[in-house]
Structure 1
């Protein structure tokens, strides 16, 4: 996913959070923070040479898929609506 696509996805999530229940919105915010933390750790490990670029990419892709699944479970629509 491109940086622009990622920004659009986060914007759509932010707009959806406004119409979700407060509990669902809080749950997604928490999951989004966990995602950002794990992305940061993965990037730091790759930058520091502790993780191969291919492994880092695979981990980031898995993290993204997990976040998308969690968003869907909370009622946040995917890119197709």
Structure 2
């Protein structure tokens, strides 16, 4: 039995799920006072940039540019 590599769509869906989970945690920490707003913003910015880079690596076009 051979395993098929996940499709680009499935890979991107996993990336989005991971991104959403991390955003949720970051927002909860900031809302709960465990993380400064500036730090939370910086983390969210980094998460977004990482998601964009991973999407580009999968060949998904950037619709912003």
Q: Report the TM range for the smaller structure's normalisation.
A: 0.7 to 0.9
Q: Aligned to 2:10, which of 26, 31, 45?
A: 26
Note the C-alpha offset of 1:29: 0.2
Q: Which runs of 5+ in 2 are unaligned?
A: 1-5
Correspondence for 1:66: 50
Tell me if 1:41 matches 2:29.
no
TM superposition score normalised by structure 2? 0.87
Moved over 4 A (4+): none
Q: Which runs of 5+ in 1 are unaligned?
A: 1-21
Superposed CA RMSD in Å reads 0.9
If each structure's helix is expressed as a fraction of its own residues, which one has the higher value? 1
Task: Choose 1 or 2 for highest CA Rg.
Answer: 2
Q: Distance in 2 between matches of 1:77 and 1:23?
A: 16
Q: Aligned to 1:54, which of 19, 26, 38?
A: 38
